[in-house]
Amino acid sequence: MTTQQRLAQIIVPLVLALYALPVWIVSVDSWAGDFGRVDSTMTVWFLSLIAHPDSSLNLLHRVFLPISSFVTVAVLWNSGNRYWTIGVVVGVLLTIFLTVYLSVYFGMDNTQLNVIQTTDVADVQDRKTFFTLASSFLDRMQEVLATYLLTLLGIEVKK
């Protein structure tokens, strides 16, 4: 395996982790019962993230797919990458599962009421806006991750 392929095997999981981080953080925060609480930094952070879809933090939606697909092609040309591929596929599938979980969680009346009562994010002041912005964010993530998963599996089949 070349140095470039080893580097690529590090870059793709790192980019995937950065991309999926908001979903994982908010999921853990919701399981802990902290999401929507007045003192929850993660709630305010997530609301700020979804309220500004064109912010530089949301730039990951646009760059994840091209970067990871390019690097994946370089890695998958090597035959000794079975565990790497399985790990990336599992990571993507778990993140897609968490986006579905959060879609349901954010649709619950109790969650919406808690978030709206505790937020001071100006762009998210009512339940409908919160749910629309959160759903849009999660839908974009699902679309990008599903496209990457299909690209990954397509390259693997073609190999």
Secondary structure string (H, E, C) spanning 56-104: CHHHHHHHHHHHHHHHHHHHHCCCCCHHHHHHHHHHHHHHHHHHHHHHH
- In this predicted structure, the answer to whether residue 22 has a pLDDT above a threshold of 70 is yes
pLDDT of residue 58: 63
> Which pTM was predicted?
0.82
Cα–Cα dist 142/158, whole Å: 24
pLDDT tens-place string over residues 69-100: 777 766 665 556 777 778 888 898 999 999 99
For the chain, what is the domain count?
1
Higher pLDDT, 146 or 8: 146
Domain that holds residue 69: 3-158
Tell me the pLDDT band of 152, cut-offs 50, 70 and 90.
Answer: confident
Question: In the structure, how many helices (H) and strands (E) does the chain have?
Answer: 6, 0
